[in-house]
Amino acid sequence: MANLLVEIEGSSFKLAWSEGLTLGRIYRCKGKDYLKFIISSIEAEKEKPEVMALISEDPIPVETETLLRGCSHHLMVFDKSFCRVAASECARYLFKGRACSVFHLGGECSVDFVDWYGNCRGEEPISGTEFEIERVLAVRPKNIAVFTGENAIYFAKRMKNSIFVVRNLVLMGLALITDNYVRKSL
């Protein structure tokens, strides 16, 4: 059964259906009316998602959460800080057995470090300048550099190192997390 993944960032959002670890078409929308889009997407599919995972910068109003619970079999709501967890989970999966530096290059810039064993060391804020990114890359030259966020491609074009740009790292991480939840819970 399909899962529905939603990432809300300020005045835009992304929505994707997933089957196991595979993301379907990804919709990117401007505006704050994510609720209408979620409901129309579910109506178009003609079935409730097994799990709806929603990650948001802003708190989800209680009445909206209640409505969304009725639109899915299971609802998982996460705050902005969980973006890092989802992104690190995906990097751990994509680069199994390799250490990674996961750069979040959106509004607030930071980097997380995933070691060889898949353990994530917490967020380190960075200024988001080319100089700062290059400094972090130089400190951990053997780490795989993974860029995500709205400015990922901009910075990747300016770097001399090999960089993996994964624009939907958070959605992919949510797909991993929801698939794991479905396997353990159902």
Average the pLDDT over each of 5-19, 73-87, 119-133 and give the range with the smallest value.
Answer: 119-133
> What would be the CATH architecture of the domain defined by 3-81+171-185?
2-Layer Sandwich (3.30)
Instruction: Give the residue from 95, 55, 57 showing the smallest Cα distance to 112.
Output: 95
**Contact criterion met (CB below 8 Å) for 101 and 111:** yes
CATH 3.30.420.40 spans which residues of the chain?
A: 3-81+171-185, 83-168
Q: What is the pLDDT of residues 125-160, one digit of tens each?
A: 888 888 899 999 999 999 999 999 888 999 988 887
Domain 83-168: state its class.
Answer: alpha beta
| 97 sits in which H/E element | none
Q: What's the confidence (pLDDT) of residue 2?
A: 92
Q: What's the confidence (pLDDT) of residue 55?
A: 94
Q: Is the pLDDT of residue 183 over 90?
A: no
What angle do the packed helices 169-185 and 82-94 form, to 10 degrees? 90
Phi then psi for 180, rounded to 5 degrees? -60, -45
Query: pTM for this structure?
Result: 0.87
Share of the chain above pLDDT 70, in %: 99
Instruction: Give the residue from 14, 169, 181, 11 showing the smallest Cα distance to 92.
Output: 169
Q: Is the pLDDT of residue 88 over 70?
A: yes
Which one-letter DSSP state was computed for residue 99?
-
Query: Please, which pLDDT band fits residue 186 given cuts at 50, 70 and 90?
Result: low
Number of residues in the chain: 186
Q: What is the pLDDT of residues 95-104, one digit of tens each?
A: 999 999 999 9
How far separated are the first and last CA of the chain, in Å rounded?
Answer: 11
**Contact criterion met (CB below 8 Å) for 105 and 148:** yes
**In terms of C-beta distances under 8 Å and separation of at least 24 residues, what long-range contacts does 26-33 make, across chains too?**
26/168, 26/171
3-state secondary structure (DSSP) of residue 123 = strand
